[in-house]
Structure 1
Amino acid sequence: MHYRTALLAIGLSLASLPAFSQSFVSSERYSDNPMNGVGVAHNAYTGCMAANYTGGGVSAHVENLVKRCGTPTAGDDAGFIRKHIELANATRGDTRLSMAENLRAYRSSFTVEQFAYFEDVDRILAEAANPEEADRGLKVLEDQAIKYLGRSDDDLAVLGAISTARHSTELWTQQNPIAASAQGKIPGWLQVAIADATGFVSGVKACGKLCGWVNAAIQSISTAFEVWGDND
């Protein structure tokens, strides 16, 4: 399978940004998660970056977010680009590790109960036999989080991470269905989903919700091309 072609197919499905109304972004018509919008934004802007990719790394992705995808910059395009290039590079996770392991530097800022949701995301993604099972597991977890978590900044960071993981899994498994991998090798879709959710939390901790979903989208496209390559 030519993953460059698959990534472009994803991107072209969302190329009419900025807008969050595309049905491709999420199969859900409604969510009780107050942070559902960050997952929607993640998929929309990740798709736009894929559609506009012509080469390059993080810098090229961030420039496309601003110049091609209409990401809000409060009138300071250059400052936004510089800030998010630095943030993406500083928060780059290790694709060999789980989400919880990548977020260990932030563990003390979450309660035991809050951080346990990150570990649950890891477990659900690692044990899923197919995309539907992954989505079902994450949806159950999301419902539990909506019910039992409060609405503090850290609670919302957890809810946003779950939303990002759900939407990322939906996005990447549409063109790259979950399949068995070699023993000991982390599947590509799982590496990307973990990078996305980790990137969201790291971004939120750095500078708030906007930084969270922007960073998640940048980590998503960067990790996807790293895992699957950018050659036709």
Structure 2
Amino acid sequence: MNQMNRIALALALAAGFSSSAWAANPMDKVGIEHNAYLSCLMADEGKMPTLQRLIDRCGYRPDSKPDEFVRTYQPFMPKDTTSTYAERLAPYRAQFSAAEYAFVERIDQVLSPQAQSPEEIDEGLAKLEAQALAQLGDKSTGARAILGSLSVARHSLAYWTPYYSEREPGDVAARWPKWIKVVIRVVATVVADAATGAAVGAFPATAVAAGPAAGAASGAVAGALQDWQNAE
């Protein structure tokens, strides 16, 4: 199955249903789209994922002209690999109600550099996902952005944990220093993905591309982390 067919299959799943574990989140399609486009962008070894390549390589069809799409979404792309979730979303504080922004701070706590394991991170995100749906609903743009961000975070976590684990020799889980290195890289990438999804989703005019844009941001951060690793 080629990359375009994989994307089509993933998007068909997003349109119809999601995995039973995440089906309660009505915005889970954002995370599914994130992983679908990210998988395509990462297929070209050595080529940095970009917004333009969403169109050129992965068949994404924006509502606007390609150059306009890139200009609109480029400001949302992460500028570094070290900012926290809350720091990345601080410029967009006005787009969220007080109740919605409280979840930004709670997500930030789950996606902290002190996170113990991917399993514990996912458990924390799952709890926040259920709480966000119960407390915020899914009617406002801000609430949908939070739910979409949580979906991106969980799908991103599922994508990047094996990716980074496979790049450390041996049984990394049995060798704590190596496992800490994996978790740090996973968390740094997931933070950028989830924050990009929330920021893009917080604006009605851009929310439609929250998943693809987060996929481009994700690959870019992974590329930057790889450059940092190579320089060690």
Question: TM-score, normalised on structure 2?
Answer: 0.78
Q: Quote the residue 1:143 is aligned against.
A: 130
Aligned to 1:215: 213
2:54 pairs, out of 60, 65, 75, with 65
Q: Distance in 2 between matches of 1:15 and 1:175?
A: 22
Kept in 2, the 8 Å contact 1:46–1:220? The answer is yes
1:170 aligned partner: 158
List alignment gaps of at least 5 residues for structure 1: 1-11
1:93-172 aligned at under 5 Å gives the runs 93=78, 94-126=80-112, 127-150=114-137, 151-172=139-160
Q: Residues 52 and 70 of structure 2 are in contact (CA less than 8 Å); yes or no, is this contact kept in structure 1?
A: no
Matched, 1:48 2:45: no
Amino acid at match of 2:77: R
Measured on the aligned residues, the alpha-carbon RMSD in Å equals: 2.9
Distance 1:44 1:228, change over 3 A: same
> Does 2:9 match 1:19?
yes
8 Å Cα contact 2:82/2:188 also seen in 1: yes
Letter of the 1:90 partner, please give it.
P
* 1:202 Cα deviation from its structure 2 partner: 2.3
Cα distance in structure 2, aligned partners of 1:101 and 1:164: 18
- Aligned letter for 1:180? I
How far off its partner does 1:84 sit?
3.7
2-side partners of 1:195 and 1:113: how far apart?
A: 22
Does structure 2 retain, via aligned residues, the 8 Å contact 1:114–1:158? Answer: yes
1:31-46 to structure 2, matched below 5 A, reads 31-46=23-38
Moved more, 215-224 or 124-133: 124-133
Q: 2: distance between equivalents of 1:222 and 1:98?
A: 16
- Number of the residue aligned with 2:191: 194
Paired AA for residue 67 in structure 1: D
Residue pair 1:52, 1:68 contacting (<8 A) in 2 also: no
Structure 2 gap segments, 5+ residues each: 166-172, 174-178
1:70: how far off? Answer: 2.1
Q: CA deviation at 1:164?
A: 0.8
Structure 1, residues 31-58: CA drift from partner, whole Å, max 9, x if none? 1111000001001110011113552x45
Question: What amino acid sits opposite 1:20 in the alignment?
Answer: A
Offset, 1:159: 0.6
Q: Does 1:91 align with 2:80?
A: no
Distance 1:67 1:89, change over 3 A: closer
**How many Å separate the matches in 1 of 2:74 and 2:95?**
22
